Amino acid sequence: MHSIQDRVPVSIVIANYNYAHFLRRSIDSALEQDYDEAEVIVVDDASTDATADVIASYGSRIKTCLREMNGGHAAAFNTGFASSHGEIVLFLDADDYLYPNAVSEVVEAWEDRTAQVQFRLHIVDEQMQVKDVFPPVELPFDSGDVTPELLRKGRYQTTVTSGLAFKRSVLDKVMPVPEPEFRQGADGYLATVAPLHGEVTSIEDCLGAYRIHGANHSVFAEKLGQRARWRIKHDFRRLEALSDQASEIGLNMRDDAGLHDPVHLEERLASLCIDRDQHPVANDSRLSLAAAGAAASLKMNASRKRRLMLAGWFLSVGVLPRDMARTILSWKLVASSRPRFLLRLSKTIRHAMG
């Protein structure tokens, strides 16, 4: 491991689009790190709000990249990375923020074979009140060499943009992020392909905050069908990129990887149940997806109780009448839709499965 005295240069790239009301907290959190060798780069993706005034107020304390045309998440990542110099690079969404010890903890945990460090985040609301932890503490991170999991099912247990840090030499191999394909969800691309070139190191502590609010791309309010379709298509793009990059280094990913991934199968099932006419995979059936989901759940890196509960959920959505299946889907995917008794029950179950 590195000691803090090694003073590895680190870059924090903040990607912003029309988040002026959150941006100051994000920039301040990057500048307030208890680690001296951290440069802060703010990429503005052609915002139309008050972002320019916020950025200007920091003067030379930050490096600024102002994009003339809006290009999305991947374009902002690519722009920021091209301007960075750190051996370790963190991409921070402008509505999220880091705790002061985040960079020093990442550097301390870094090992020679590390390609990516991942850490948990507090889920906070717009007023920065802590609501939960992401990923939930009862879901163990996958660490070390995760390539076998990636080649088997195209996913491992990781986190979102603001909970990730990458080795620069690995990013040199996998960037630029393809911009049209990953206009949203560029972190999904990086976290999928970076571990092909090294190991994943996990930190269990929460080192920052992941803000959930009505404008998050990942929330889509409660438009479950739209959200599911986007995630399915994003997964297919990730899997294609993973297959291409794996083949470049002599590895083969199974053709049916998505059918071994409970997260992907959950979205396929949601899309099919909610809006069959717009579902993007023609030959899917509820029963086949549910059976695959139940089988995949039993192989998860989670407690036995959690695996059994998820397998049972898949089977119930697969065999119950469509209206009942939709209700059960919404209860799992949107906590606010759950009746009061189920909220109490889910807390009890979650505690038991921790």
* CATH assignment of the domain containing 130: 3.90.550.10
Using the structure block, give the residue that is written with the tokens 């320019």.
52
Judgement on whether residues 51 and 123 belong to the same structural domain of the protein:
yes
d(CA 53, CA 49): 9
In a domain? residue 129: yes
Q: Identity (one letter) of the amino acid at 50?
A: A
Judgement on whether residues 19 and 157 belong to the same structural domain of the protein:
yes
**Predicted pLDDT of residue 221:** 37
Give Rg (Cα) of the chain.
20
Is a pLDDT exceeding 90 seen at residue 95?
yes
If pLDDT is split at 50, 70 and 90, which confidence band does 224 have?
Answer: confident
Instruction: For residue 76, give both structure tokens.
Output: 């902002």
**Predicted pLDDT of residue 346:** 56
Judgement on whether residues 253 and 310 belong to the same structural domain of the protein:
yes
Is a pLDDT exceeding 50 seen at residue 3?
no
**Hey, which bits of 94-161 come out as E strands?**
97-98, 114-124, 130-134
In a domain? residue 315: yes
If pLDDT is split at 50, 70 and 90, which confidence band does 39 have?
Answer: very high
Domain boundary among 175, 209, 243: 209
Judgement on whether residues 169 and 253 belong to the same structural domain of the protein:
no
If pLDDT is split at 50, 70 and 90, which confidence band does 337 have?
Answer: low
Distance (Å) of CA 242 to CA 196, 239, 270, 316, 341: 9, 5, 24, 32, 42
d(CA 198, CA 127): 38
Judgement on whether residues 125 and 100 belong to the same structural domain of the protein:
yes
**Predicted pLDDT of residue 220:** 43
Distance (Å) of CA 214 to CA 51, 221, 229, 256, 347: 19, 6, 19, 34, 24
If pLDDT is split at 50, 70 and 90, which confidence band does 339 have?
Answer: low
d(CA 81, CA 89): 8
Structural domain tally of the chain? 2
Percentage of the chain beyond pLDDT 90 is 79
Judgement on whether residues 194 and 305 belong to the same structural domain of the protein:
no
Judgement on whether residues 143 and 19 belong to the same structural domain of the protein:
yes
- Average pLDDT value for residue range 324-328: 85
**Predicted pLDDT of residue 328:** 82
In a domain? residue 112: yes
Judgement on whether residues 188 and 242 belong to the same structural domain of the protein:
no
- Average pLDDT value for residue range 129-143: 93
In a domain? residue 3: no
d(CA 85, CA 345): 49
Domain boundary among 209, 236, 270: 209
In a domain? residue 2: no
Percentage of the chain beyond pLDDT 70 is 90
Instruction: For residue 3, give both structure tokens.
Output: 């000691």
Judgement on whether residues 198 and 253 belong to the same structural domain of the protein:
no
Judgement on whether residues 13 and 71 belong to the same structural domain of the protein:
yes
Is a pLDDT exceeding 90 seen at residue 99?
yes
Judgement on whether residues 175 and 261 belong to the same structural domain of the protein:
no
Domain boundary among 181, 209, 237: 209
In a domain? residue 291: yes
Provide the whole-model pTM.
0.90
Judgement on whether residues 164 and 302 belong to the same structural domain of the protein:
no
**Domain region containing 142:** 8-209
End-to-end CA distance of the chain: 29
If pLDDT is split at 50, 70 and 90, which confidence band does 344 have?
Answer: low
In a domain? residue 333: yes
